[in-house]
Amino acid sequence: MTGETTARLGFLAAVTAFAIAAPLIGDSYILHVMVLCFIWVIVVSAWDLVMGYAGIFNFAQLAIFAVGGYASGMLAIGTGMPPVLAVPLAAVIAGAFGLLIALPCLRLRGEYVALFTFAVHLALPTLLEKGRAWGTGGASGLVGVPPIRIGDLAFTTSNKIGWYYLALAAAAISVWLIYFVVVQGRWGRAFVALRDSEAFARSLGIDEYRTKLKLFTLSAAVTGFGGALYAHYVGVMTPRVLGNEFFLMVMVMLSIGGLGRFPGAIFGAFLVTVGNELLREAGQYRLLFLGAIVVLVVILLPNGVSDLLTRRKKAAAAKNIEIGKADVPTIRSGVNPSCSP
């Protein structure tokens, strides 16, 4: 069984386990935390595609997340569009926004891409606060974002079980698309080739311009999809999502999980979301504790918690090799083992 097959089967088993566990949880607060975990899995996985597998330091991820949330909320509130239609349209709008970010980034390299995308992140809150006339709600943001309705089923904030399954399905589809369709497909190999050696990738006929445009657009669309779900879940979308707390949390998720190492981003999203809720009573010291955890992980596990799985596999492989060596009979020179007493 190949590593890719094992990863697919393990992922499907995990999704099945989460689906079975929902009725057994019962506690609405735990269900709420799990919904947040699933939504952040979508966002961090899309970011991992850009930073981990393509090696592009795009710091506009939360800006794209906010664009998806605001777009869906404004469509649902301002035009009366059903949220079930507003969410996918918001993903398309976020993808277009990612495309606009990608165009100037193609002329930049390394840290300049990071500076430009971080500038986009810093500029967007002011635009949202000053855009009340455009329907952004100003500094108070969008309040009363309507819940998603599918037929007679309404996914209100109080419907934790419904949102649990909806967010789980959305996260499962997003992760499968990113890691098992894109990363393991032709696009993913092109991303990794450009990350490791642009000159070699171009010699293979990989179009750097088109590949990076596809990368930014796809990652932005998935991120915007997560932002739209978040807006309809909490019912509010404000410029606060672009604050330092959210930005640091997402950065910590990716750092703890490990860049470009499936399922590192998923582990990071769960660990940081659950840890953030457990440390909520610590108030402002919560970020200090999270920062200390990041320092320890960077020192002890430079490649993130996913490095534990890699080390375990290497240890198991080394053990199997030692066992194989022990099972090989020692043949002495000039002696036929079958005839020896």
Q: Which of 5-9, 78-82, 236-240 has the lowest mean pLDDT?
A: 5-9
pLDDT in tens, 169-197: 999 999 999 999 998 888 888 888 888 88
**pLDDT of 263:** 85
**pLDDT of 127:** 92
Encode the chain in three state secondary structure.
CCHHHHHHHHHHHHHHHHHHHHHHHCCHHHHHHHHHHHHHHHHHHHHHHHHHHCCCCCCCHHHHHHHHHHHHHHHHHHCCCCHHHHHHHHHHHHHHHHHHHHHHHCCCCCHHHHHHHHHHHHHHHHHHHCCHHHCCCHHHCEECCCCEEECCEEECCCCHHHHHHHHHHHHHHHHHHHHHHHCCCHHHHHHHHHHHCHHHHHHCCCCHHHHHHHHHHHHHHHHHHHHHHHHHHHCEECHHHHCHHHHHHHHHHHHHHCCCCCCHHHHHHHHHHHHHHHCHHHCCHHHHHHHHHHHHHHHHCCCCCHHHHHHHHHHHHHHHHHHHHHHCCCCCCCCCCCCCC
**How many independent structural domains does the chain possess?**
2
99 shares a domain with 58:
yes
115 part of a folded domain: yes
pTM of the model: 0.87
**pLDDT of 123:** 93
pLDDT in tens, 87-120: 999 999 999 999 999 998 888 887 899 999 999 9
Q: Grade residue 6 by pLDDT with cuts at 50, 70 and 90.
A: confident
341 part of a folded domain: no
pLDDT in tens, 195-205: 888 788 888 88
98 shares a domain with 34:
yes
266 part of a folded domain: yes
Residue 259: which domain range? 243-321
- Which residues have a Cβ under 8 Å from the Cβ of 305 and sit 6 or more positions away? 256, 257, 258, 264, 267, 268, 271, 297
Domain termination site, one of 214, 240, 266: 240
Q: Grade residue 331 by pLDDT with cuts at 50, 70 and 90.
A: very low
pLDDT in tens, 243-259: 888 888 888 888 888 88
159 shares a domain with 49:
yes
Q: Grade residue 70 by pLDDT with cuts at 50, 70 and 90.
A: very high
128 part of a folded domain: yes
169 shares a domain with 42:
yes
120 shares a domain with 223:
yes
141 shares a domain with 71:
yes
**pLDDT of 333:** 46
333 part of a folded domain: no
224 part of a folded domain: yes
108 shares a domain with 81:
yes
286 shares a domain with 153:
no
Domain termination site, one of 240, 267, 287: 240
183 shares a domain with 229:
yes
174 part of a folded domain: yes
247 shares a domain with 179:
no
307 shares a domain with 204:
no
Domain termination site, one of 218, 240, 262: 240
**pLDDT of 328:** 54
330 part of a folded domain: no
**pLDDT of 187:** 81
Alpha carbon 221 to its chain's center:
12
Which of 147, 171, 145, 144 has the alpha carbon at shortest distance from 157? Answer: 147
The stretch 306-319 carries a mean pLDDT of 63
304 shares a domain with 279:
yes
**pLDDT of 340:** 44
